[in-house]
Amino acid sequence: MRELPKVQTPYVDRAQQHEAGIMGMHIFLASEIMLFGGIFMAIAVIRQAHSQEVVEYSKELHYYLGAINTMLLLTSSFLVAAAVHMSRHARRKAVLALLVSAAFLGLLFLGLKGFEYWSEFQEGRLPVAGGMEKINSAPGRLFLNLYLVSTSLHAVHLTIGVIALLVVAGRIYTRRSALPQRSVVVETTAAYWHLVDIIWIFLYPLLYLAR
């Protein structure tokens, strides 16, 4: 067993350090919400201005793929929450299993999202070069642009989340992060994961079910 981590400079004890870490993460998440908030505003304004086209093009999105993805993320969030609980009780193996399977679900999500982009491209509905024969109105294209921007920004966040989950799992596996003392890393990563999940919960209806 490695030595327990020392308390770092500005802190007097581990509890204080733990709380600071969690609080820092929450504040960061608040700023992430504001970031996506800007995009949500943009989608809302475009929808308001061109409801007809937006509805028309939204109907063409593969809402069932989106629904499956929603399920995947909800399940993974559940797993991650369980991992937090287990980490407080130093159930190392369980934590590892939960984190890795949540990461796996995240990868599945990304795979499915990729497939979705690919099929949209085939159908000529993805606003990238060579993939937009079927897009023939400007506001419709604008809506799909926003669709692409917001979902890919979300996918980037999710990718970071997957990497973070795996890194944390790795540290726990190699015992560089001892449990339960360092359960804070599981908690902050979980908080981030939940946020990415919640953002999707808003994106999904806004984009796919806007009709």
Partner 1 sequence: MSSVTNHDERPNPDNLDDPGLSETKTERVSYLRAGHTLRSWLFTTDHKRVALLYMMSITFFFFIGGIAAAFVRADLLTPSADLMTNEGYNRAFTLHGVIMVWFFLIPSIPNTFGNFLIPLMIGARDLAFPRLNLLSWYIFILGGIFTLFVLILGGVDTGWTFYTPLSSMYANGNVVLVATAVFIVGFSSILTGLNFIVTIHKLRAPGMTWGRLPLFIWSHYATSVILVLATPVLSVTLALIAAERLFGLGIFNPELGGDPLLFQHLFWFYSHPAVYIMVLPALGVVSELVAAAARKPVFGYKFVAGSSIAIAVIGFLVWGHHMFVSGQSIYASAVFSFLSLVVAVPSGIKIYNWTATLYKGDISLDPPFLFAMGFIGLFVVGGLTGLAVAMLAIDVHLHDTYFVVAHFHYIMVGGTVSAYFGALHFWWPKIVGRLYSVVWGRLSAMFIFIGFNFTFFPQFILGYEGMPRRYHVYPEQFQVLHDMSSIGASILGIAYLMPAVYLYYSLRYGQPAGNNPWNVTGLEWTIPSPPPKHNFDEIPTVDGPPYNYPVRKEAKHA
Partner 2 sequence: MNDFASAWPDAASAYASNVDLLALFFMALVVILSAPVFILMVVFATKYRRGKNADRTEPINRNMWVEVSWAVVPFLLILFFYGWATSLFIVHASPPSDALEIKAVGKQWMWKFQHAGGQREINELHVPVGKDVKVVLASQDVIHSLYIPALRIKQDAVPGRYTELWFNAEKPGTYWLACAEFCGTDHSAMTGKFIALRPADYSRWLAENGSDGSLAAEGEKLFVSSGCSGCHSPDAKVHAPSLAGLYGRPVPLENGDVVTADDQYIRDSILLPQSQIAAGYPHIMPTFENILSEEDVLKLVAYVKSLAKASEENLP
Residue ranges that bind partner 2, judged by CB under 8 A = 49-53, 55, 137-140
Among 72, 98, 135, 142, which residue interacts with partner 1 (rule: CB under 8 A)? Answer: 142
Q: How many angstroms separate the CA atoms of 124 and 128, rounded?
A: 9
Is 122 or 152 the residue whose CB approaches partner 1 more closely?
Answer: 152
* Residue (19 or 59) nearer to partner 1, CB: 19
Residues 48-87: x/- map of binding to partner 1 (CB under 8 A)? -xx--x----------------------------------
CB-nearer residue toward partner 1: 9 or 174 = 9
CB of 95 or CB of 207, closer to partner 1: 207
- Residue 159 phi, psi (nearest 5): -60, -45
Dihedral class, residue 124 (left if φ above 0, else alpha if ψ from -120 to 50, else beta): left
Is 4 in contact with 181 (CB distance < 8 Å)? yes
Q: What is the largest CA-CA distance in the chain?
A: 64
d(CA 203, CA 7): 40
**Taking CB under 8 A as the rule, does residue 146 contact partner 1?**
yes
User: What is the nearest approach in angstroms of partner 2 to the Cβ of residue 64?
Assistant: 25
